[in-house]
Amino acid sequence: MSEIFGIPTQALFGQLLIGLINGSFYALLSLGLAVIFGMLNIINFTHGAQYMMGAFCAYFLLNKLGLGYWWALLLAPVIVGATGIVIERLMLARLYQLDHLYGLLLTFGLALVIQGLFRNEFGSSGLPYNIPKALEGGRNLGFMFLPNYRAWVVVASLVVCLATWFVIEKTRLGAYLRAATENPALVQAFGINVPRMITLTYGFGVGLAALAGVMAAPIYQVNPLMGADLIIVVFAVVVIGGMGSIMGSIVTGFALGVIEGLTKVFYPEASNTVIFIIMAIVLLVRPQGLFGQR
Amino acid sequence: MRFPKRTLMAAAIALAAGAAQAQVSDGVIKIGVMNDQSGTYADLAGPGSVVAARMAVEDFGAAKKGMKVEILVADHQNKPDIGSNIARQWYDVDKVDVIVDVPTSSVVLAVNEVTRQKNKALIVSTGATSDLTGKACSPNSIHWTYDTWSLANGTANAVVKTGGSTWFFLTADYAFGHALERDTEAVVLKNGGKVLGKVRHPFPSSDFSSFLLQAQSSKAKVIGLANAGADTTNAIKQGAEFGIVSGGQQFAGLLVFLTDVHALGLDKAQGLLLTEAFYWDLNDQTRAWSKRFAQGHKGAMPTMVQAGVYSAVLHYLKAVEALKSDEGPKVVAKMKEMPTDDPIFGKGQVRQDGRKIHPMYLFEVKKPSESKGAWDYYKVRATIPADQAFRPVKEGNCPLVK
- Angle, in degrees to the nearest 10, between helices B209-218 and A9-40: 180
Q: For chain B, what is the mean pLDDT?
A: 91
- B317-345 pLDDT, tens digit per residue, is 999 999 999 999 999 999 999 999 999 99
Specify the CATH number for the domain of residue A235.
Answer: 1.10.3470
CB-closest option in A128, A229, A265 to B206: A229
The whole-number pLDDT of residue B3 equals 44
pLDDT in tens, B43-76: 999 999 999 999 999 999 999 998 999 999 999 9
Reported as half-sphere exposure (CB side, CA atoms, 13 A), residue A77 has a value of: 23
Q: Which of residues 154-213 of A touch B (CB under 8 A)?
A: none
Phi-psi group of B113: left, alpha or beta (phi > 0 → left; psi -120 to 50 → alpha; rest → beta): alpha
Q: What is the CA radius of gyration of chain B?
A: 22
- Phi and psi (nearest 5°) for B367? -75, 155
A193 part of a folded domain: yes
User: Does any CB of chain B come closer than 8 Å to the CB of residue A14?
Assistant: yes
The shortest CB-CB distance from A125 to any of B38, B217, B260 is to: B260
Domain B153-276+360-389, CATH? 3.40.50.2300
B238:A22 CB<8 A: no
- Nearest chain A CA: its distance from B260 CA (Å): 7
Of residues B52, B199, B335, B306, the one with CA closest to residue A263: B199
Assign B10 a pLDDT band (cuts: 50, 70, 90).
very low
Nearest by CB to B43, which of A125, A268, A269?
A125
Domain B2-146+282-358 annotated CATH 3.10.28.10 = no
Residues 6+ apart with CB under 8 A from B336: B142, B349, B350, B351, B352, B354
Q: What whole-number distance in Å separates Cα of residue B126 and Cα of residue B312?
A: 11
CA distance A18 to chain B (A): 6
Distance of alpha carbon B106 from alpha carbon B81, whole angstroms: 10
Exposure string of B187-208, with b = 16+ CB inside 10 Å and e = fewer, is: bbeeeebebeebbbbbbbbbbb
What pLDDT digit, counting tens, does each position of A60-96 carry? 999 999 999 999 999 999 999 999 999 999 999 888 8
pLDDT at A278 over 80: yes
- Report the pLDDT averaged over residues B305-326: 95
Provide the number of structural domains found in chain A.
1
Q: pLDDT digit string (tens) for A1-24?
A: 466 666 677 778 888 888 999 999
Residue B5 reports pLDDT greater than 70: no
* Contacting residues of B for A150, CB less than 8 Å apart: 209, 241
Integer Cα distance of A20 and A25 in angstroms: 9
Q: Mean per-residue pLDDT for A165-176?
A: 91
Closest Cα partner for A132 from A209, A71, A77, A192?
A71
pLDDT at B22 over 70: no
- pLDDT of B18: 40
pLDDT of residue B13: 47
pLDDT level of residue B8 (50, 70, 90 thresholds): very low
Q: Which residues of B316-353 are buried (b: 16+ CB within 10 A; e: fewer)?
A: bbbbbbebeebbbbbbbbbbbeeebebbbbbebbbbeb
What is the least distance, in Å, from the CA of A186 to any CA of chain B? 46
Locate the domains of chain B by residue range.
2-146+282-358, 153-276+360-389
- CA atoms of A8 and A167, how far apart (whole Å): 42
Contact call for B259 and A225, based on CB within 8 A: no
In angstroms, the CA A23 to CA A259 distance is: 9
ipTM of the assembly? Answer: 0.84
What's the pLDDT score for residue B183? Answer: 95
Residue B20: closest CA among B399, B274, B317: B317
**d(C-alpha A78, C-alpha A73), whole Å:** 9
- Enter the pTM of the model: 0.86
A128, B43: Cβ pair inside 8 Å?
no
What pLDDT band is residue B15 in, cutting at 50, 70 and 90?
very low
- Highest-confidence range of A17-31, B104-118, B245-259, by mean pLDDT? B104-118
DSSP B379: E
A147 touches B: beta carbon within 8 Å? yes
Is B44 within 8 Å of chain A by CB? yes
Q: What is the largest CA-CA distance in chain A?
A: 67
pLDDT above 90 coverage of chain B, percent: 83
CB contact under 8 A, B206 and A124: no
Cβ distance of B210 and A150 shorter than 8 Å: no
Domain extent, residue A142, equals 8-285
CB contact under 8 A, B211 and A268: yes
What average pLDDT does the segment B355-372 reach? 95
Neighbours of B26 (CB within 10 A): 11
B1, pLDDT greater than 80: no
Question: Greater confidence, B112 or B206?
Answer: B112
* Interchain CB contact of B379 with A (< 8 Å): no
Tell me the average pLDDT across A112-139: 89
- Quick check: is A207 in a domain? yes
Query: Which chain A residues in 23-82 lie under 8 Å from chain B, judged by CB atoms?
Result: none
- Candidates A264, A269, A275, A277: best to mutate against B (most CBs of B within 10 A) is A264
B2-146+282-358 and B153-276+360-389: identical CATH topology: yes
Backbone torsions φ then ψ of B257, nearest 5 degrees: -100, 160
Q: Give the single-character DSSP code of B366.
A: P
Q: Is the CB of residue B226 less than 8 Å from the CB of residue B123?
A: no
- Can you give the pLDDT at residue B23? 61
Q: How far is B39 from chain A (nearest CA, A)?
A: 6
> B132, B123, B141, B145: which is closest to B34 by C-alpha?
B123
B303 has a pLDDT exceeding 90: yes
Query: Strand pairing of B69-75 and A145-147?
Result: unpaired
Query: Can you give the pLDDT at residue A3?
Result: 66
Q: A87 and chain B: CB distance < 8 Å anywhere?
A: no
Is A261 within 8 Å of chain B by CB? yes
For residue A159, name the pLDDT band (cuts at 50, 70, 90): very high
B378-395 pLDDT per residue, tens: 999 999 999 999 999 999
pLDDT bucket at A212, cuts 50 / 70 / 90: very high
